[in-house]
Amino acid sequence: QAVVTQEPSVSVSPGGTVTLTCGLSSGSVSTTNYPSWCQQTPGQAPRTLIYNTNTRSSGVPDRFSGSILGNTAALTITGALEDDDSYYYCVLYMGSGISVFGGGTRLTVL
Amino acid sequence: QVKLQESGPGLVKASETLSLTCVVSGYSISRGYHWGWVRQPPGKGLEWIVSFYHSGGTYYNPSLKSRVTVSEDTSKNHFSLNLTSVTAADTAVYFCVRQRVGSGNRFDSWGQGALVSVSS
In this predicted model, what pLDDT tens digit does every residue of B8-53 receive, in sequence order? 999 999 999 999 999 999 999 999 899 999 999 999 999 999 999 9
The DSSP code for A83 is: G
Long-range contacts of A74-78 (CB under 8 A, 24+ apart): A74/A19, A74/A20, A74/A21, A74/A22, A75/A19, A75/A20, A75/A21, A75/A22, A75/A37, A75/A49, A75/A50, A76/A17, A76/A18, A76/A19, A76/A20, A77/A12, A77/A17, A77/A18, A77/A19, A77/A20, A77/A107, A78/A17
Which of A45, A102, A103 is closest, CB to CB, to B112? Answer: A45
Measured between CB atoms, does B65 come within 8 Å of chain A?
Answer: no
Q: Which residues of A touch B101 (CB under 8 A)?
A: 93, 97, 99
Please judge whether A100 and B106 are an interchain contact, meaning their C-beta atoms are less than 8 angstroms apart: no
Specify the pLDDT at position A70: 95
Which of A34, A100, A101 is closest, CB to CB, to B103? Answer: A34
> For chain B, where are the alpha helices, taking DSSP H only?
none
Specify the pLDDT at position B66: 97
Give the angle subtended at the CA of B46 by the CAs of B43 and B50, to the nearest 5°. 140
Res. A1 pLDDT band, cuts 50 70 90:
confident
Q: Is the pLDDT of residue A24 over 80?
A: yes
Measured between CB atoms, does B27 come within 8 Å of chain A?
Answer: no
Specify the pLDDT at position B26: 97
Which of B95, B106, B112 is closest, CB to CB, to A36? Answer: B106
Q: What is the pLDDT of residues B60-74, one digit of tens each?
A: 999 999 999 999 999
